[in-house]
Structure 1
Amino acid sequence: MSSIPHLADQVPGSSERSLRGRVPDEEWRTRVDLAACYRLVAQYGMTDLIYNHITAKVPGSKDHFLINPYGLLYEEITASSLLKIDLDGNIVGERDGGYGINHAGYIIHSAIHAARHDVGCILHTHTRAGITVASMKCGLAPLTQPALRFYGRASYHDFEGPAVELGEKERLVADLGMNNVLILRNHGLLTCAPTIAEAFLLMQRLETACKIQVDLMSSNAELVEIPPEVREKSAKVFSPPTVVKEGAEGKLGDWNGMREWKALLRSLGRRDPSYRE
């Protein structure tokens, strides 16, 4: 009977090689949150095998970021397996376990991290619904309440082929501007935010809006349009910051996502707490 290799023999950064206590506390907490984000993206069906990235800025550093080893599935990512790299994609400090990073795919992330100092996390996906909407001339249409969360707040970047040319960085950053959502034409979706929680929740909601749009447009039913004034009103209600003060109206509460994020971490911990290793 053949034996199955133990996960610790396959995945860098397992509990037997944990970085806990070997990196600053703030970096460790970021590692745990980022590993959780990878696991949640897998749980919500937004992965593309071993491809794409979610990156997070290392606290206290201007040009160091955490990224997934190139070769691990998102469901295998742990806090210790994440690699620390600089803006040029060089691995800093730790061993890479023989995996390294996907340098070609990191073009997008390094461009945004270098230009947007307000961004702590960047999430990029190649989902079926996301690519479908990104390939529609209309883009994300203001047809539903979920889509209106991004009304006037989503940027677009034309497809230039696989993102391997350094010259594309400048155009990509210019197209994103100060928005936190970028629809990459014929390619996929990207969200960025100050925190990992916000970047994930933006992507989950954007993915939901895309799925609904694909369903609607494939139904061949006559669609009900939302009047422009209602679109504007809805976008303002959804727009951050949305901290409600006593007696305030027209906002939906604190939008930093911590309520949802804490609930998601509880759920993830019940399913598989190994991301914390």
Structure 2
Amino acid sequence: MYDIPTLNLKNQVSKTEWHTRVELAAAYRLLVMHGWDDLIHTHISARIPDTEELLINAFGLAFEEVTASNLVKIDIEGNIIQDDCPFDINPAGFTIHSAVHIARPEAQCALHLHHPDAIAVASTEKGLRPYSQYSAFALASMSYHRYEGLAVNHDEIQRLQTDLGSANFMLLRNHGALTMGVTIGDAFMHMYDLLRACEVQVKMQQSGDTPIEVDPNIIASIKAQADIVHTGQTGGQKAWPAMMRRVKRQYPNFDI
């Protein structure tokens, strides 16, 4: 009842799939390390490059139990396509992730969280405000989706896609946060910026002082400024190797 099936797929899948599995498992562990997990709920999904196949967490595992081998391979319609897979997936999680992967084929990764500060900001009428540098990054590519209950209604897929558009950041009203990334590292760094922005906003609103807002012209040019800082690379590309090393130190066996 309490045991987790032990799998080792390293030599049974392509090198590309295995690399994706290792990076995605690392992302799940990073959520635990940052205190962003929510029992067994929420998800990070990743497309295996050059395929229509996705990887997502097994429903029922805590994020610190996710390994490269126990991630579940599914097609774009949510069918498990992994031989002899002992796990199931969360249908509510798949609704959100299938919607964004179908709409955004250029994005490898979608990351969805229920962080309290993100829910608090998402549940205000004006949403995220330009109160910090973190918010400037998010507001440069921001979207919103109204709450429709648990995401099990197939009809919601089209509305999610329409609301997301080309944005990399989304606040799900009364629900949580979603970020997209061309790589897994990009999706993680986008979520880092979004949650920091929400944390700062909640703190500022509690202070009772009048906030100083970031100039809209700065928000409009923030991506170009970030490209200079990262010398043409994305934030995920620059920070992600360090995050992978951090996970390996904390969880030496995540990549099995």
TM-score scaled by structure 2? 0.94
Structure 2 CA distance, aligned partners of 1:233 and 1:121?
25
Q: Is the 8 A contact 1:148 1:235 kept in 2?
A: no
1:46-93 deviation digits (Å, cap 9, x = unpaired): 11110111111123312x100100000011100000010112211112
Q: Does 1:88 align with 2:85?
A: no
Aligned to 2:4: 11
Deviation at 1:236, TM superposition (A): 4.2
Q: Does 1:55 align with 2:45?
A: yes
Structure 1 CA distance, aligned partners of 2:90 and 2:55?
13
Structure 2 CA distance, aligned partners of 1:161 and 1:192?
22
Q: Is the 8 A contact 1:69 1:96 kept in 2?
A: no
Aligned to 2:110: 122
Structure 1: where are the runs of 5+ without partners? Answer: 245-250
Structure 2 CA distance, aligned partners of 1:133 and 1:221?
17
Alignment of 1:232-243 (within 5 A): 232-234=220-222, 236-238=224-226, 242=227
Q: What amino acid is the match of 1:35?
A: A
Q: Does 1:218 align with 2:206?
A: yes
Aligned to 1:205: 193
TM-score scaled by structure 1? 0.87
Structure 2 CA distance, aligned partners of 1:144 and 1:256?
18
Q: Is the 8 A contact 2:230 2:238 kept in 1?
A: no
CA RMSD for the aligned pairs?
A: 1.7
Aligned to 2:123: 135
Pick the structure with more helix per residue: 2
Q: What amino acid is the match of 1:113?
A: H
Deviation at 1:218, TM superposition (A): 1.0
Deviation at 1:152, TM superposition (A): 3.4
Structure 2 CA distance, aligned partners of 1:145 and 1:104?
33
Structure 2 CA distance, aligned partners of 1:229 and 1:113?
31
Aligned to 1:191: 179
1:22-59 deviation digits (Å, cap 9, x = unpaired): 10111000000000000001111111110111111123
Q: Is the 8 A contact 2:187 2:236 kept in 1?
A: no
Which structure has the greater CA radius of gyration? 1
Structure 2: where are the runs of 5+ without partners? Answer: none
Aligned length: 255
Q: What amino acid is the match of 2:245?
A: R
